Each structure stands twice: as C-alpha cells, then as structure tokens.
Amino acid sequence: MGKREAFWLIICGLLILLAYIIPYTILTDVAKWYGSFLLWVLLGFVIILFNIIFTKDWRS
Amino acid sequence: MANHLIWWGFAIYTVLSLFVAYLSRSGKEMTMSGYFLGNRKMNGFVSALSYSATTYSAFMMVGLSGLTYKGGVGALGFEMIYFAGVSLVAFFGPRFWLAGKKYGYVTPSEMLGDRYDNKLVAVVISVSSCIFLIPYSAVQLAGVGYLVEGMTNGGISFTTGVILAMILAIVFSFIAGIRSVMWTDSLQALLMIIASTTVVILVIQGLGGFGEFFGNLEKNHSESLTVPGNGFWSITTFLSMTIPWVFFSLSNPQVSQRLFMPSSPKSLRGMLMGFLVFGFIYTLVSVLWGFSALSIFPGLDNPDIATPSLLASKFVPPVLGIIVMVAIIAAAISTIDSILLTLGSLFARDVYGNLKQNVDEKRQLAIGKIIMPIIAILAFVFAEMQLNLIGVLSVASSAGLTVAIPAIIGCFFWKKGTPAGVISSVIVGGALVLILEFTKYKPLGLGSGIWGLIISGILFITISLITKPPTQKAEEFMGYIKREMKTQFTK
C-alpha cells in the first residue's frame, strides 16, 4: 500500500469513527433534523466525494 | 389493495424481465468465467446498477424502514456506516480485479485458495459462505412474503409470495447466467429508485412538506431523531449491527465476486461511483419511508409491516403502490439470483472442483447449474420458518461472513499469512458466530459479528506466526499486484 492510499485509508477510518462518536455524545440530546440525521447524511455525501477523488486516476 | 391489480403488476414485471433476460444472451456460454463473470467484460453502468440491486434487497425497503420505525434515526447511521464501508472497494477493488485478470479466478474463495497455496482454504471458505448466505437469501424471500401478505391483507399468502420469488430467481439466473442477472438487476434497480423516490416525495408533501414532516417528528416522536433514542439503538446494538456491515463489500462473495467482472479500471470506477450515488439516494428514501410510517401509523405491532401499511395508505396512488411493491419484490429477487449464481460457482469451482480430481470447466458449469435450484429450495425452507425481524436476521448472516475478513486482508497485505491461519480463523470464528446466534448470548452486550471478527483476527495472526507461509506464492502474487497498481491505477 502506497503512502497516498494509507493517507486516504486513515481519513476514511477517522470519518467512520466520528460517525460513531458524535451522534452518541454531542448530538444525543439534539432531537432535530439537523442533529444526527444531518450528520449521517453529510457522512454519506463526504464519502461520495472521497471516492471521486480517490479513484480519479482509474482509466480504461 | 385489490389482489387482481397486484397480480397484473407482477405479470407485467415478469414479462418485462424475461424479455430483458432474453435480450442479454450472447451465445451459449460454455466456460465458468463466461457464465458466472460475463467474460470479465461488463461495463460500468450495468455493473453499477446490478451491484446496487444485488446489495440493496428487500431488506432496505422492508427491514431498514422497519428499523427506522422501531428505533429511529439510528437506522440511518447503521446504513450510512455500511455505505462508508463500501469505500473498501476503492482499496481492494483494483487488487481483486488485477488478480482475477491475471490468474483467471472465478470466485473470491478460489483466489484465497490459490494465494495461500492450499485447496482446503477455498473449500472451507466456500462452505462457510454457503452456511451463512442461504439464511440471507431466506431473509429476502421472507421479505417478499411479508410484503405481499401485508399489502393484500392476507389475500395473497406469505407462501405464495415466497414461491413466486424463488421461481423467478431461479429462472433469471438460468437464462444467461450473470448476464441475464445483471441486465434484469439493472431494470429492477431503475424501477426501484424511481418508484420509491416518487413515493417519498408524495408522502412528505402529503404530510405538509419537509419542514412540517420533521416538525411533527420533533414534536410527537422526538426520541426517533436521536440515538440511543427510545433505547433500541443502544451503543452496543449499534456496534454489533454496523461492524459486520462495514466489511460487507469484501466479506459477501455475491458482491466481492463483482470486482472480477468490470472490463477496465474505468468500468470498475463506474461501478463504484454509480453504486454510491444510487445507495445514497436509496438509503435516504428507505429511512424517510420509515419516518413517514411512524408519523402516519404510530402504533403498529410489527415494524416489518410499516412499509406495506405506507404503500396502502391514502398518500400513495394505488398504481404507484403496485409499482413499488413489484419493485421491492424485484429487489429481493435480484439479490437472491446473484447469491444463487455466486453459491453455484463457489460450490462447482471450489468445493466440487477441488475435492474431485480432473474436473473440466464444462463439468463444473453443469454442477453449478444443478446446485443453484437446490440452494433456492433450501432458502425457501428457511423462509417458511418465518423468523423474527428481518433486519436482525440479515445482520446475523453477514456476521458469519465477516470471519473471512482477516484472511482477505492478509491475502493482499501480509506475506506471513498461512493456510492453517485462514482455515482455523474461518472455522473457529464461524462456529463461534453460530453458537452465539443460537444461544442468543451476547458477551459484554456485543453481538456475534464482533466476537467472530476478533477471534478470527487473533487466530489468523497467531496460527500464521507459528506455521509456514507459502512465501514463494505470496511474493509472486503481492509483487504482481504492487507493480500493476502503480501502472494501472495511479497516474
């Protein structure tokens, strides 16, 4: 695994970790759409962007 | 909903799918890679839709909506964490693809058997996949049963729904192998995403728009917008359900086998990105669906009927209700037929092909075709047992497959991994998952998937360290992947 891959793997791991921690701590009492709902939607969105960037050199 | 309308919907869907399956044929496939992998020539768009249809099954529309109904927003977190886990395809996808192309692998377990230089590795992993994937298929079949029974108020029985789904799954896999499955999957995926999104838009509008929709949830069901909320999504439950799913894209052979099929790195990228966009929309739709049911019918006894109730409500025009119902049935079938093909190939290639001497491709293909309907019938028997909440059982199946993860990671990244390490980790880890599932015992409150993964990881490493690795093969395999990753997947 190259340095670039390792870097992105760590970023991805951190994102997933935050998606576990924040809803059960900071957002546990925020019963609004902009609480855990928005956080997890944003996670999905960031993951898509992450994959677009990570795979940009895969050509035919 | 009138039964005859449902029968009509089902008939139109069947005819359309059979037509698409028929068109997908490209001569008689005589080889394993032709029948099971589409000759590794699949384009990105079809691959993406089919990958989506295979991954997203009746579980999403019935089970995930049910979980949202029962426990609130934690269901979204559960699914989004799985979704984030699909990024593993960005790391492992190119490696699977390169290895498959060079060595001609048809199944992921064949790859592991070759890489660890031991046929028994392939046999053990294949058998373990069968043990866990047959209940998973059963879950899909049961999803169809619940749906038709719920929507017709018992007019069409659970068993009728299950039998119809099983027959169609067998037919779609038989017409042209993976080609017919991928093309019917694509049709189903498009139908599914368009119809289900329309329903959500209509229902949210019917409930007064986005603001009022969430306003109502905040006012009347505030616990549904937080975790642990009403207690269903305790942190241990959340961990137990999400961790096996993070690894789903690698541990489940019906999807990891797809990594061998794209025609080029560009198609592989198309498959991944297409799936992510589809999955993002579909996840949101399924969760909003569950929230809608909670707003409209707060007192249902069984969360699995949240979706059928919603479809039968005044907010959804009957024709759209039928289309969605058919789309959900199609979703279940598209998952089952892919599993049938994968298990057929696993059994023929890795179990039969390794245990019996001198089995040629033609014979393997014949065996694969015989085994598919047998597996479908086994799944039917499980489905008829009508086990509890669909989502929970589905997770139990993926828990059992997670035990192969250390071996899969080791295949690409650890030269010291040994066959004994793989075999012991998969057998002991798998047995542990089964024992914990059957006894319903959760040490420290954590589910079987987490314990299976921990134990299999420990065993894989320790047993590998005290046994002899296939150094030559490991160096050759990993050296090849490393070189090709630089030339084909980086600038």
Residue B131 counted as domain residue: yes
Q: How many domains does chain B have?
A: 1
Q: For B133, phi and psi rounded to 5 degrees? A: -85, -25
Question: Is A10's Cβ below 8 Å from some Cβ in B?
Answer: no
Task: Report the gap between the CA of B363 and the closest CA in chain A (Å).
Answer: 34
Please tell me the number of Cα atoms within 13 Å of B255 on its side-chain side: 28
A positions 30-59 inside 8 Å of B (CB): 30-33, 35-37, 40-41, 43-45, 47-48, 50-52, 54-55, 57-59
Does pTM top 0.90 for this prediction? yes
Residue B357 counted as domain residue: yes
Amino acid (1-letter code) at residue B362: K
Task: Report the gap between the CA of A57 and the closest CA in chain B (Å).
Answer: 5
Please say whether the beta carbons of B92 and A38 come within 8 A. Answer: no
Q: Is B150 helix (H, G, I), strand (E, B) or coil?
A: helix
Q: What share of chain A is helix, strand, coil (3-state, %, to 5)?
A: 70, 0, 30
Mutate to test the interface with B, among A46, A55, A57, A59 (most CBs of B within 10 A): A55
Task: Report the gap between the CA of A17 and the closest CA in chain B (Å).
Answer: 9
Q: Do B84 and A55 touch (CB under 8 A)?
A: no
Please say whether the beta carbons of B165 and B189 come within 8 A. Answer: no
CB within 8 Å of B260: residues ≥ 6 apart: B37, B40, B96, B97, B100, B101, B105, B106
> In this structure, how many other beta carbons lie within 10 angstroms of the beta carbon of residue B127?
17
Residue B228 counted as domain residue: yes
> In this structure, how many other beta carbons lie within 10 angstroms of the beta carbon of residue B154?
10
Q: Which of A32, A45, A57 faces B218 most closely, judged by CB atoms?
A: A32
Q: Of A30, A39, A52, which Cα lies nearest the Cα of B275?
A: A52
Encode pLDDT of A1-59 as tens digits. 788 899 999 999 999 999 999 999 999 999 999 999 999 999 999 999 999 999 999 98
B122 burial via Cβ count (<10 Å: 0-12, 13-18, 19+): buried
Q: For A25, phi and psi rounded to 5 degrees? A: -120, -85
pLDDT in tens, chain B (491 residues): 577 888 898 899 999 999 999 998 877 778 999 999 999 999 999 999 999 998 887 667 778 898 999 999 999 999 999 999 999 999 999 999 999 999 999 999 999 999 999 999 999 999 999 888 887 888 778 878 877 887 777 888 889 988 998 999 999 998 989 999 999 999 999 998 999 899 999 999 999 998 999 999 999 999 999 999 999 999 999 999 999 999 999 999 999 999 999 999 999 999 999 999 999 999 999 999 999 999 999 988 888 778 878 888 889 998 898 888 888 888 888 888 999 999 999 999 999 999 998 889 899 999 999 999 999 998 888 787 766 544 455 557 888 999 999 999 999 999 999 999 999 999 999 999 988 988 889 999 999 999 999 999 999 999 999 999 999 999 999 999 999 999 989 87
Enumerate the domain spans of chain A.
31-60
Cα–Cα distance list, B364 to B36, B38, B106, B299, B344 (Å):
11, 16, 11, 52, 9
**In which domain, by residue range, is B32 found?**
3-387
**CATH number for the domain including B343?**
1.20.1730.10
Q: Do A27 and B226 touch (CB under 8 A)?
A: yes
Cα–Cα distance list, B49 to B54, B57, B319, B369 (Å):
9, 13, 24, 24
- How far is B386 from B166, CA to CA, in rounded Å? 15
Residue B473 counted as domain residue: no
CB pairs under 8 A between A and B: 123
| Residues of chain A with C-beta less than 8 angstroms from the C-beta of B91 | 1, 5, 9
Residue B262 pairs with which residues in a beta bridge? B42
Q: Do B80 and A4 touch (CB under 8 A)?
A: no
